[in-house]
Amino acid sequence: MTTIDLTQVRDLFFEESFENLDVMESSLLDLEIGTFNEELINNIFRAAHSIKGGAGIFHFDDIVTFSHNAETLLDEVRDGKHTIDQTLIDLLLRAGDILRMMLLASKDKVEYDDQTMQSCQNELQKALLEDKKVDKENFDLADVPVIESSSEAKILKQWHIKFKPELPILKTGNDPINLFRELQELGELKVITNTDAIPDFADLNPQLCYLNWELFLHSTADRADIEEIFEWIIDECELSITESVIEPITEPEIELQEEPSPEIIDDTPKIKITKEKTTIPEIVIVEPVHEKEVVNKQTKTNSIRVGIDKIDNLINIVGELVITQSMLDQIGENFDNSDITQLQDGLAQLERNTRELQENVMRIRMLPISFSFNRFPRLVHDLSTQLGKKVELVLSGENTELDKTVLEKMSDPLVHLVRNSLDHGIELPEQRKQAGKPETGKLHLNAFHQSGNIVIQISDDGAGFDVEKIRAKAIQKGWITEDENLAEEQLYEFIFQPGFSTSEEVSDVSGRGVGMDVVRRNIRDLGGSIEVKSTTGEGSKFSIRLPLTLAILDGQLVRVGKEIFVLPLLSIMESLRVQSKLVNSFTGMVEIYKLRDDYIPIFRLYKLFDIKNTTTKLEQG
């Protein structure tokens, strides 16, 4: 008996479902202009359809039902039966939130808010009745009649469908059983399964689909109705649809005398497959345990999606390493002095291969910052609506890469800075109009590389910081006296103090003086820094400087006495030998060195770390 653990497949379903929800959300936000964009609508529909199909495999029936309602509404939008307005977009965004809640609950095996789900589901069902003669005030699904047109005769057709999916179709969340269920809703279905392609058991991969089918459908449906069912997997299968007309009918129910046909079973079937002269052992599928338990929220951080180009580079480098190793083996077998040059060349090649391998392995941890930026369109949409403001979000530098750990730990600080810009920075439309600005404010998120670091900037064209308010608050807190005159840059440092806020009212968004100190602490924990620039009436800019990676870094070795120190190369601006004539003492305590037109303090490591050194002369360093 062989056991198959579906845990890995289940995790893959959740990962892809959350990605599909992100696609739905970003596409819905792009529809806000109100114009019909077929590509975006198809993206949204395809994402909802994939979630429904995958949920059906694991018997998440509530997710299947809910996503089906959203999918049906999207289908009507695609057919032009519903106009794209803000109400519809908000409803579908809320449906995406509910789906995310249900998926998280199913993943963690916990309960979700059923009342919230039912409320949204009712709204979806009511939206399906828009522009139809239905009393929405007294809406009850049980009272909705099924209306069928009998104005003209329907033609019963026999459709002959040949369906051969590609082997990895199950990995994309498309289950042929679900397709057959949808076909069965169109009429009477007969299914013939071809098992000739099933390999011997030793070569069987349970995640691949080796079957193909011939289907006979008796239905009044048109070809377009059938093609629509296969629409989302048309690129993953060989499909042939032919028809033959049987007779015209006027009644919706037809009795056909057909040979017994296999049933399409509602629950996922246990299929026993046999081949001539081949015995296949019973396969037991271990379903995930359904009892409620606490799931570690950090499990999602234990995996990383790597581009195929990075994998290909690693494979190529490993191949070169193998070649270099073979060459060195040959040199070592019959080594003599004449092989010195060849040995040196081989070792140099080995060093190049090793360095290249190190750089490419480190690059695997690098992810584009778009993984973080992509969450902000929805945040800005919801928050600006809540605050009654008009805001345009501009994203740039989304392909800038940084370390996965840095990216994850920067998520919350970025959210806090964006919320602050929306709440405190950008003004209400009336205020902007009075100030001679466009009613729509601009919030800009930018990322770029600079001097071996990554810089993330959050800027807005809002009111900017009120320096006098900051100064008054600092005096009130006792941090400075009224007589002290600080530069604007020094006053901006106070906004990072715990409990500091110039807001006179506490809102749901901000105003308690909690968060900016945490933002700076989190950034410093990553080895980064944050600085503020602001112009009253014109806007503010936060610039965050972070290291590219927290993994292995190149360094320069420095020996002091018997101790060895490593200085990161990214921190070294220039390396030179000190000239004694350019060294002076400042106030008799600090040594300074004149480098061109600048004076740089000198720190002697043997003094700082109390190390016995063999020399104290700077020029010998």
Which DSSP string corresponds to 477-527? HTSS-TT----HHHHHGGGGSTT----SS--SSS-SS-SHHHHHHHHHHTT
Q: What is the pLDDT of residues 338-347, one digit of tens each?
A: 778 888 888 9
Q: By the 8 A CB rule, do 618 and 583 touch?
A: yes
SS3 131: coil
Residue 141: band (very low, low, confident or very high) from pLDDT cuts 50, 70, 90? very low
- For all residues of the chain together, what is the average pLDDT? 79
In the annotation, is 444 catalytic? Answer: no
Angle between helices 114-127 and 86-108 (to 10 degrees): 140
pLDDT band at 363 (very low <50, low <70, confident <90, very high): confident
What is residue 153's predicted lDDT score, i.e. its pLDDT? 43
In whole angstroms, give the CA distance from residue 302 to residue 581: 56
Query: Which band of pLDDT confidence, cut at 50, 70 and 90, is reported for residue 428?
Result: very high
Band the pLDDT of 33: cuts 50, 70, 90.
low
Q: Is 230 helix (H, G, I), strand (E, B) or coil?
A: coil
Q: What is the pLDDT of residues 5-30, one digit of tens each?
A: 567 778 888 888 998 998 888 888 88
Provide the pLDDT confidence category of residue 3 given band limits of 50, 70 and 90: very low
Backbone phi, then psi, for 26, in 5-degree steps? -65, -40
* 67: enclosing H helix or E strand: helix 61-78
The HSE-up count of residue 273 (CA atoms within 13 Å, CB side) is 17
When pLDDT is cut at 50, 70 and 90, the band that residue 133 belongs to is very low
pLDDT bin (cut points 50, 70, 90) of residue 505 is: low
pLDDT given for residue 599 in this prediction? 84
Closest among 195, 246, 238 to 217, alpha carbons compared: 246
> Per the residue annotation, which of 20, 25, 49, 381 is the catalytic one?
49
420 catalytically annotated: yes
Q: Which of 69, 174, 212, 420 is catalytic?
A: 420
Look up 49 and say whether it is catalytic.
yes
- Predicted TM-score of the model (pTM): 0.58
Q: Which of 71, 174, 178, 212 is catalytic?
A: 71
- DSSP code, position 570: G
